[in-house]
Structure 1
Amino acid sequence: MTDTDRTGTLHAGFSSPDATAQPWSLVLETLAEAEVFWISTVRPDGQPHVTPLIAVWRDGALYFCTGGDEVKARNLAANPECVLTTGCNRMGSGFDVVVQGRAVSVTDEARLAVVAGDYESKYGWVFRVEDGRFVGASGNVAEVFEVRPVTVYGYGRGAQYSATSWRFSS
């Protein structure tokens, strides 16, 4: 998937009567500017696990990091399918984005260096890249994951409500 403009499908049953599909540019803006995301993974026993994290958008994918022994990392090792969400918590305005995809471990050090730069630019977090992972200032080691969207949903609120989806080849 590239970051070019795409046409979404409006879901009329979940939208105001005169609503139109939201533009892909709004999704890109939301993903780039969002500070907090929520990741949903599935535990080996089938129970859901949801937790907040920070992420960066680069080249058509979301990147996040987590300790290898954290629940989300263990869940992704067993089942890489996940959902990342972001948006706002106001009923009368805003735009929420839901990204469904597969979390893939990133170990390429050149790619990790670029993503580490994104984390520093966006959040002020500094990581060095070592042995295919991030290492923080305190010495904590984090695995890095890439999620390329398979399906994206955008939910607009305000004068009109809209539900728009975009599908991509997996």
Structure 2
Amino acid sequence: MEITETVHRRPAEERTRDTLERLTAERDVWVSTAHPEHGPHQVPLWFVWDGRAVWMCTGAGSATVRNVRAESRVRLSLPDTFDVVLIQGEAECFPDQEVPEAAARAFADKFGWDPRGEEGSFVYVRVAPRTVRAWRGEPELRERVVMREGMWVTQTQTQAS
């Protein structure tokens, strides 16, 4: 497959805006976890972005939940290999009956499915980003970090001025 579109380098503000739009609009994210004894695990899950964190939901007995409970550092990626968004952060588990109502409602509203009403146990996983990298093609590789230490780079630049 040949890419004929010309790629321009977006400024950090535009990459941040585009990333936030995708986090709001996309429905699937790849979740990468690891366990000291069982090794790495990667799975696609539905997600909701609440403006500060990514919320996902999966079975209470899943490898994702087992891994997050053993090692909270995770990596998430949106499913596009040209318009890349990678998120590194800390994950926290919330049993389905203890999840904050706003997160559960946002998830149910987006997907038309409320795991809290299902048989079996589910766990909501919240990931607060610490680092976000976003780039489209080689021209943006050098300045791909749009969030560092939980702060959007454009906010850091504004506060430093």
**TM-score class, shorter:** 0.7 to 0.9
CA 1:18–1:85: 2 relative to 1, 3 Å: closer
- Alpha-carbon RMSD across the aligned residues, in angstroms, is 2.7
1:151 to 131, 142, 151: 131
Q: Which residue of the partner structure matches residue 117 of structure 1?
A: 105
Instruction: Number of aligned residue pairs: give it.
Output: 141
Q: Which residue of the partner structure matches residue 121 of structure 2?
A: 141
Q: When the two structures are superposed, what TM-score results if normalisation uses the length of structure 1? A: 0.71
Gaps of at least 5 residues in structure 1 are 1-15, 128-134
Read off the aligned partner of 2:125 and give its amino acid letter.
Answer: F
Map Cα deviations across residues 115-157 of structure 1 (whole Å, 9 max, x no partner): 1211122111124xxxxxxx233x1221112111100011214
1:19 correspondence with 2:17: no
Q: When the two structures are superposed, what TM-score results if normalisation uses the length of structure 2? A: 0.75
Kept in 2, the 8 Å contact 1:103–1:145? The answer is yes
Mapped partners of 1:62, 1:73: distance in 2: 15
Q: Which has the higher helix share?
A: 2
RCO greater where, 1 or 2, for CA within 8 Å and sep 6 or more?
1
Cα deviation, residue 97, structure 1: 1.0
Q: Secondary structure at the match of 2:67?
A: helix
Read off the aligned partner of 1:99 and give its amino acid letter.
Answer: I
2:63 to 71, 76, 79: 71
Using the TM superposition, name which of 64-73 and 20-29 deviates more.
20-29
Kept in 1, the 8 Å contact 2:69–2:93? The answer is no
Q: Secondary structure at the match of 1:54?
A: strand
Q: Secondary structure at the match of 2:75?
A: strand
What is the percentage of aligned positions where both structures have the same residue? 26
